[in-house]
Amino acid sequence: MIEVVNVRKSYRSGDRQVEALRGIDCRIAKGRFAFIVGPSGSGKSTLLYLLGGLDRPSEGSIRVEDQDLTTMSESDMNVFRRDKIGFIFQAFNLISNLTAIENVLVPFLPRGLTPELKQRASELLTQVGLGDRLDHRPYQLSGGEQQRVAIARALIKDPILVLADEPTGELDSRTGDEIYRILRRMQNVRQTTLVVVTHDRRFITPDDLVLEIQDGQLKSDGLVEAQDDLAEAEIGFEPRLSRSNLLEGKDFIDDGPN
Protein backbone atom coordinates (compact mmCIF):
# COMPACT_ATOMS: atom_id res chain seq x y z
CA MET A 1 0.00 0.00 0.00
CA ILE A 2 2.69 2.51 1.08
CA GLU A 3 6.40 2.27 0.35
CA VAL A 4 8.80 4.90 1.69
CA VAL A 5 12.40 4.69 0.43
CA ASN A 6 15.25 6.78 1.86
CA VAL A 7 13.04 9.82 2.44
CA ARG A 8 14.74 12.94 3.67
CA LYS A 9 13.20 16.33 4.34
CA SER A 10 15.11 19.49 5.16
CA TYR A 11 14.17 23.14 5.32
CA ARG A 12 15.68 26.44 6.32
CA SER A 13 14.85 28.07 9.63
CA GLY A 14 16.47 31.47 9.73
CA ASP A 15 20.13 30.98 8.88
CA ARG A 16 20.29 27.26 9.63
CA GLN A 17 19.33 24.10 7.79
CA VAL A 18 16.96 21.79 9.69
CA GLU A 19 16.85 18.09 8.83
CA ALA A 20 13.33 17.02 9.77
CA LEU A 21 13.68 13.50 8.31
CA ARG A 22 17.00 11.75 7.77
CA GLY A 23 16.53 8.66 5.65
CA ILE A 24 13.19 6.97 6.40
CA ASP A 25 12.53 3.49 4.95
CA CYS A 26 9.30 1.62 5.71
CA ARG A 27 6.31 -0.13 4.19
CA ILE A 28 2.70 -0.21 5.36
CA ALA A 29 0.42 -2.99 4.11
CA LYS A 30 -3.05 -2.34 2.75
CA GLY A 31 -5.81 -2.32 5.35
CA ARG A 32 -3.50 -1.80 8.32
CA PHE A 33 -3.86 0.53 11.27
CA ALA A 34 -0.46 2.19 11.66
CA PHE A 35 0.74 4.64 14.28
CA ILE A 36 3.60 7.11 13.92
CA VAL A 37 4.93 7.93 17.38
CA GLY A 38 7.86 9.80 18.85
CA PRO A 39 8.74 12.90 20.87
CA SER A 40 7.75 16.41 19.81
CA GLY A 41 9.86 17.67 16.94
CA SER A 42 10.94 14.17 15.88
CA GLY A 43 9.39 14.44 12.39
CA LYS A 44 6.09 12.58 12.88
CA SER A 45 3.81 15.14 11.29
CA THR A 46 6.37 15.87 8.58
CA LEU A 47 6.23 12.22 7.50
CA LEU A 48 2.42 12.20 7.62
CA TYR A 49 2.18 15.27 5.39
CA LEU A 50 4.60 13.70 2.92
CA LEU A 51 2.46 10.54 2.80
CA GLY A 52 -0.56 12.70 1.99
CA GLY A 53 1.15 14.69 -0.73
CA LEU A 54 0.79 17.92 1.24
CA ASP A 55 4.56 18.39 0.94
CA ARG A 56 7.38 16.80 -1.04
CA PRO A 57 10.55 15.15 0.28
CA SER A 58 13.95 16.68 -0.35
CA GLU A 59 15.20 13.22 -1.33
CA GLY A 60 13.80 9.71 -1.69
CA SER A 61 10.52 8.32 -2.98
CA ILE A 62 7.02 7.64 -1.67
CA ARG A 63 4.63 5.27 -3.42
CA VAL A 64 0.96 4.91 -2.48
CA GLU A 65 -0.86 2.07 -4.28
CA ASP A 66 1.90 2.02 -6.89
CA GLN A 67 1.62 5.76 -7.55
CA ASP A 68 4.91 7.62 -7.08
CA LEU A 69 3.96 10.81 -5.27
CA THR A 70 7.42 12.30 -5.69
CA THR A 71 7.25 12.36 -9.49
CA MET A 72 3.66 13.59 -9.87
CA SER A 73 2.96 17.02 -11.30
CA GLU A 74 1.26 19.48 -8.96
CA SER A 75 -2.06 19.12 -10.78
CA ASP A 76 -1.90 15.30 -10.72
CA MET A 77 -1.02 15.43 -7.03
CA ASN A 78 -4.02 17.65 -6.31
CA VAL A 79 -6.34 15.20 -8.08
CA PHE A 80 -4.81 12.17 -6.34
CA ARG A 81 -5.07 13.84 -2.93
CA ARG A 82 -8.64 14.99 -3.60
CA ASP A 83 -9.89 11.61 -4.79
CA LYS A 84 -7.83 9.04 -2.88
CA ILE A 85 -6.79 10.42 0.52
CA GLY A 86 -8.87 11.45 3.52
CA PHE A 87 -7.46 13.78 6.17
CA ILE A 88 -8.45 14.10 9.83
CA PHE A 89 -6.74 16.89 11.76
CA GLN A 90 -6.55 17.76 15.44
CA ALA A 91 -8.26 21.13 14.87
CA PHE A 92 -11.22 19.59 12.95
CA ASN A 93 -10.99 22.32 10.21
CA LEU A 94 -14.76 22.65 9.87
CA ILE A 95 -16.27 25.69 8.13
CA SER A 96 -18.19 27.65 10.75
CA ASN A 97 -21.10 28.83 8.59
CA LEU A 98 -21.84 25.38 7.12
CA THR A 99 -23.99 22.67 8.68
CA ALA A 100 -22.63 19.25 9.59
CA ILE A 101 -23.85 17.66 6.36
CA GLU A 102 -22.52 20.60 4.30
CA ASN A 103 -19.11 20.24 5.96
CA VAL A 104 -19.05 16.55 5.05
CA LEU A 105 -19.81 17.47 1.42
CA VAL A 106 -17.06 20.13 1.18
CA PRO A 107 -14.70 17.94 -0.94
CA PHE A 108 -17.38 17.79 -3.65
CA LEU A 109 -18.50 21.42 -3.67
CA PRO A 110 -16.22 22.43 -6.60
CA ARG A 111 -17.66 19.61 -8.73
CA GLY A 112 -21.30 19.95 -7.74
CA LEU A 113 -23.53 17.92 -5.44
CA THR A 114 -25.90 15.14 -6.42
CA PRO A 115 -28.81 13.65 -4.45
CA GLU A 116 -26.76 10.45 -4.13
CA LEU A 117 -23.87 12.34 -2.49
CA LYS A 118 -26.20 14.09 -0.07
CA GLN A 119 -27.74 10.74 0.87
CA ARG A 120 -24.28 9.24 1.40
CA ALA A 121 -23.26 12.16 3.63
CA SER A 122 -26.41 11.70 5.68
CA GLU A 123 -25.73 7.98 6.06
CA LEU A 124 -22.12 8.55 7.11
CA LEU A 125 -23.14 11.06 9.77
CA THR A 126 -25.74 8.60 11.03
CA GLN A 127 -23.10 5.87 11.19
CA VAL A 128 -20.88 8.04 13.40
CA GLY A 129 -23.80 8.85 15.70
CA LEU A 130 -24.84 12.26 14.33
CA GLY A 131 -28.06 11.38 12.55
CA ASP A 132 -29.90 14.00 14.62
CA ARG A 133 -27.25 16.70 14.10
CA LEU A 134 -27.26 16.99 10.29
CA ASP A 135 -28.30 20.65 10.27
CA HIS A 136 -26.21 21.77 13.24
CA ARG A 137 -23.29 24.15 12.72
CA PRO A 138 -19.91 23.58 14.37
CA TYR A 139 -20.58 25.97 17.27
CA GLN A 140 -23.64 23.86 18.13
CA LEU A 141 -21.56 20.67 18.37
CA SER A 142 -19.21 19.38 21.06
CA GLY A 143 -15.55 18.75 20.26
CA GLY A 144 -16.18 15.03 19.88
CA GLU A 145 -19.13 15.65 17.58
CA GLN A 146 -17.05 18.02 15.44
CA GLN A 147 -14.37 15.35 15.10
CA ARG A 148 -17.04 12.85 14.02
CA VAL A 149 -18.07 15.27 11.27
CA ALA A 150 -14.41 15.43 10.22
CA ILE A 151 -14.26 11.63 10.08
CA ALA A 152 -17.40 11.49 7.92
CA ARG A 153 -15.87 14.16 5.65
CA ALA A 154 -12.73 12.03 5.27
CA LEU A 155 -14.88 9.01 4.31
CA ILE A 156 -17.26 10.64 1.84
CA LYS A 157 -14.94 10.01 -1.12
CA ASP A 158 -14.26 6.39 -0.05
CA PRO A 159 -10.48 6.99 0.20
CA ILE A 160 -7.83 4.30 -0.10
CA LEU A 161 -5.87 5.96 2.70
CA VAL A 162 -6.89 8.01 5.74
CA LEU A 163 -4.28 10.13 7.52
CA ALA A 164 -4.93 11.54 10.99
CA ASP A 165 -2.73 14.02 12.85
CA GLU A 166 -3.40 13.82 16.61
CA PRO A 167 -7.14 13.28 16.01
CA THR A 168 -7.95 13.25 19.73
CA GLY A 169 -5.46 15.90 20.86
CA GLU A 170 -8.20 18.45 21.61
CA LEU A 171 -10.57 15.95 23.23
CA ASP A 172 -11.01 14.51 26.72
CA SER A 173 -10.05 10.88 27.29
CA ARG A 174 -13.62 9.52 27.17
CA THR A 175 -14.38 11.27 23.88
CA GLY A 176 -11.00 10.17 22.54
CA ASP A 177 -11.96 6.56 23.26
CA GLU A 178 -15.16 7.01 21.26
CA ILE A 179 -13.28 8.48 18.29
CA TYR A 180 -10.86 5.55 18.19
CA ARG A 181 -13.73 3.06 18.36
CA ILE A 182 -15.16 4.73 15.25
CA LEU A 183 -11.78 4.70 13.47
CA ARG A 184 -11.24 1.02 14.23
CA ARG A 185 -14.70 0.05 13.04
CA MET A 186 -14.04 1.99 9.85
CA GLN A 187 -10.72 0.23 9.32
CA ASN A 188 -12.13 -3.22 10.03
CA VAL A 189 -15.31 -2.95 7.97
CA ARG A 190 -14.00 -0.96 5.02
CA GLN A 191 -10.42 -2.28 5.05
CA THR A 192 -9.22 1.31 4.79
CA THR A 193 -5.54 1.92 5.53
CA LEU A 194 -5.15 4.33 8.44
CA VAL A 195 -1.98 6.13 9.49
CA VAL A 196 -2.25 8.10 12.73
CA VAL A 197 0.24 10.43 14.39
CA THR A 198 -0.20 10.42 18.16
CA HIS A 199 1.52 11.15 21.46
CA ASP A 200 -0.94 8.92 23.31
CA ARG A 201 0.16 5.28 23.18
CA ARG A 202 -2.81 3.98 25.16
CA PHE A 203 -4.81 3.69 21.92
CA ILE A 204 -2.24 1.31 20.38
CA THR A 205 -3.04 -2.42 20.39
CA PRO A 206 -0.68 -5.38 19.83
CA ASP A 207 -2.13 -5.84 16.32
CA ASP A 208 -1.16 -2.34 15.18
CA LEU A 209 1.92 -1.37 13.22
CA VAL A 210 4.03 1.13 15.18
CA LEU A 211 6.62 3.32 13.49
CA GLU A 212 8.68 5.17 16.08
CA ILE A 213 10.64 8.20 14.93
CA GLN A 214 13.40 9.84 16.89
CA ASP A 215 15.52 12.74 15.62
CA GLY A 216 14.17 12.29 12.11
CA GLN A 217 15.02 8.60 11.87
CA LEU A 218 12.99 5.43 12.26
CA LYS A 219 14.10 3.47 15.31
CA SER A 220 15.36 0.00 14.46
CA ASP A 221 12.58 -1.82 16.33
CA GLY A 222 10.00 0.14 14.37
CA LEU A 223 11.68 -0.86 11.12
CA VAL A 224 11.58 -4.53 12.08
CA GLU A 225 7.85 -4.25 12.80
CA ALA A 226 7.30 -2.65 9.42
CA GLN A 227 9.18 -5.47 7.69
CA ASP A 228 7.18 -8.07 9.63
CA ASP A 229 4.00 -6.30 8.58
CA LEU A 230 5.04 -6.56 4.93
CA ALA A 231 5.64 -10.29 5.33
CA GLU A 232 2.16 -10.65 6.82
CA ALA A 233 0.70 -8.77 3.86
CA GLU A 234 2.43 -11.11 1.42
CA ILE A 235 1.02 -14.14 3.24
CA GLY A 236 -2.48 -12.64 3.32
CA PHE A 237 -4.32 -10.31 5.66
CA GLU A 238 -7.35 -11.76 7.39
CA PRO A 239 -9.76 -9.00 8.47
CA ARG A 240 -11.21 -9.23 11.94
CA LEU A 241 -14.62 -8.00 10.77
CA SER A 242 -16.20 -8.82 7.41
CA ARG A 243 -17.88 -6.41 5.02
CA SER A 244 -21.12 -8.27 5.76
CA ASN A 245 -21.21 -6.44 9.11
CA LEU A 246 -21.75 -3.22 7.22
CA LEU A 247 -24.34 -4.79 4.94
CA GLU A 248 -26.22 -6.08 7.96
CA GLY A 249 -26.61 -2.50 9.16
CA LYS A 250 -23.95 -2.37 11.86
CA ASP A 251 -22.56 1.12 12.17
CA PHE A 252 -19.19 2.47 13.36
CA ILE A 253 -20.33 2.96 16.95
CA ASP A 254 -19.44 -0.05 19.07
CA ASP A 255 -20.68 0.31 22.63
CA GLY A 256 -19.61 -3.18 23.58
CA PRO A 257 -16.11 -4.47 24.34
CA ASN A 258 -13.58 -4.55 21.51
Domains located in the chain, CATH noted: 2-243 (3.40.50.300)
Does the pLDDT value for residue 151 go beyond 80? yes
pLDDT for the residue numbered 217: 92
Q: Please state the rounded mean pLDDT for residues 62-89.
A: 91
pLDDT for position 239: 36
Secondary element (H or E) of residue 234? helix 220-235
pLDDT recorded at residue 96: 93
More confidently predicted of 241 and 111: 111
pLDDT tens-digit map of 5-34: 999 999 887 888 889 999 999 999 999 999
Rounded CA gap, 2 and 86, in Å? 15
Mean pLDDT for the chain overall: 83
Between the alpha carbon of residue 161 and those of residues 32, 85, 181, 195, 196, the distances in Å are: 10, 5, 18, 8, 11
Residues 198-229: tens digit of each pLDDT: 988 889 999 999 999 999 999 864 444 444 55
pLDDT above 50 (res 250): no
**Binning pLDDT at 50, 70 and 90, where does residue 254 land?**
very low
User: Mean pLDDT across the stretch 49-70?
Assistant: 93
Least confident range from 67-81, 89-103, 214-228: namely 214-228
Range ranked top by mean pLDDT from 140-144, 177-181, 198-202: 140-144
pTM: 0.80
Q: Find out whether 35 and 211 touch, Cβ atoms under 8 Å.
A: yes
pLDDT at 142: 92
The predicted structure's pLDDT at residue 22: 93
Cα(20)–Cα(182) distance, rounded to whole angstroms?
32
The b/e string for 61-90 (b: 16+ C-beta within 10 A; e otherwise) is ebbbeeeebbebeeeebeebbeebbbbbbb
Q: Region 88-104: what's the mean pLDDT?
A: 92
Given a cut of 70, whether residue 246 has pLDDT beyond it is no
CA distance 162 to 193: 6
Residue 164 has pLDDT above 60, yes or no: yes
